Amino acid sequence: MPEGEELEYLQQQDRLTNTELLTLLHQVLIPCGFTRFRLTGGEPLLRSGVVDLVRSIAAFPETQDLSMTTNGFRLAELAQDLYDAGLQRINISLDSLEPETFDRIIGNRGRSRWEQVWQGIQTAHQVGFSPLKLNVVVIPGVNDHEVLNLASLSIDREWHVRFIEFMPIGNAELFDRKGWVESATIRQQIRERWGLTEGQIRGNGPADVFRIPDAKGTVGFISQMSECFCDRCNRMRLSADGWLRPCLLNETGQIDLKTALRSGVSISNLRYQVQSLLQAKPEINFKMRESGTTGGYGRTMSQIGG
């Protein structure tokens, strides 16, 4: 979380309602070719009616895959309902196995949240989520000493630990102060300890996947900083406030579907706008932001989720 900043929450009237979201999915996005969906954040488990939303999206005949990225804090109480509603896969943020480090990363100033998140992970595993992925953002001097301990979670459990290079999204000061650790460095640490072989896992993400020999799970590496994968990205982001973006980390080219829908713009017109944005997507990516050819990104990682 950004250091020393108060959280700003979207007002209810500024967010897409579940009905509006389902309308956009079923009448606009699915007809434009979207069939795989991920609920992310911010934090999707804070959304009122999230289980019913999952059930509705899973019920669309066109839905081929439905997954979620969560911080895991409410997962212990909701995992079974989400699984029964049709959620197929889940990614959980777990940047540290040390409660004090974990709480420092999430900006917690009260009681520790680590145990609640760990229980959520255990519950998700027990109810049957597979694959179950754990996302680790590695930050020098903060949690980089835990790489081997985190990787070892994949040995005895069918868990998939994914190491993500730290990116300067909404936290440029911390990035400038701490820097980032290349995936190649992390990979070498694991290889020297146990060895690594190529692995596979069901999903649609950008991770390069490996397996510690004889491990039940895998370790993956998402290397946007050192090995940019914009050229093979096929994702779009519909934010909670109704903006559709062709790049998760770049606000260039976005369209405001919420305002258009509430203003009575026709469904056919909305589809035309989405199709036009899809055609522009190859030219709008994270690399543009890094090269200074766009106006940057105004949201933090804690706001945009995974």
Q: Kindly indicate the confidence band of residue 2, based on its pLDDT and cuts at 50, 70 and 90.
A: low
> Does position 20 have pLDDT exceeding 50, yes or no?
yes
What average pLDDT does the segment 108-127 reach?
Answer: 91
| pLDDT at 304 (0 to 100) | 61
Cβ neighbour number for residue 241 with a 10 Å cutoff: 14
Residue type, 17: T
Radius of gyration over every alpha carbon of the chain, rounded to an integer in angstroms: 19
What average pLDDT does the segment 67-73 reach?
Answer: 95
| pLDDT at 109 (0 to 100) | 66
Task: Tell me which of 127 and 289 has the higher pLDDT.
Answer: 127
- Condensed to tens digits (0 to 9), the pLDDT of residues 72-112 reads 999 999 999 999 999 999 999 999 999 999 998 888 767 78
| pLDDT at 173 (0 to 100) | 62
Q: Kindly indicate the confidence band of residue 116, based on its pLDDT and cuts at 50, 70 and 90.
A: very high
- Condensed to tens digits (0 to 9), the pLDDT of residues 160-200 reads 999 998 876 656 565 556 677 899 999 999 999 999 998 88
The answer to whether the CB of 190 falls within 8 A of the CB of 212 is yes
Q: Kindly indicate the confidence band of residue 3, based on its pLDDT and cuts at 50, 70 and 90.
A: low
| pLDDT at 295 (0 to 100) | 45
Q: Which residue has the tokens 């999707």?
A: 44
Helix ranges (H only) for the chain are: 18-23, 50-59, 75-85, 99-106, 114-127, 147-151, 153-156, 172-178, 183-193, 257-262, 267-280, 286-291, 301-304
